[in-house]
Amino acid sequence: METGAILQQSPLPEPGKRGSLSGGQFVLLAVLIAILLMTMVWAAYVWTSSNDVPMSQHGWIALGLGTLFSLVIGCGLMALMFFSSRSGHDEAATPKFMQRRDEDE
């Protein structure tokens, strides 16, 4: 008896053949690149305009610890998400899968 979602596999594209971007995809890619460039220019402007503001040693320690704990929490939550997905805990929590499991029995 197999439980869980039934996944359909789509055919893989040929290795030598690449699909070209459609018009909409090209526009989306161009807009995303423009947003990235504007964000980088803004970040550089803010970074250079705040050069005159001194930061104490306690500020640097707080910045480093905040960055470290943010990375630890982010990586830990991602690891828990993958562990939960692989162990099957997510399937039992979804009513759609529970109904499908009941129909299979």
Convert the pLDDT of each residue in 77-92 to its tens digit.
Answer: 999 988 887 877 666 6
**Highest averaged pLDDT of the listed ranges 11-15, 40-44, 51-55:** 40-44
101 pLDDT band, cuts 50/70/90, is: low
CA 13 to each of CA 7, 24, 26, 27, 67: distance values in angstroms, whole numbers, following the listed order: 18, 21, 20, 24, 41
Q: pTM of the prediction?
A: 0.44
Q: Is 90 exposed, middle or buried (0-12, 13-18, 19+ CB in 10 A)?
A: middle
Question: Which sequence spans correspond to the domains of the chain?
Answer: 23-47+58-104
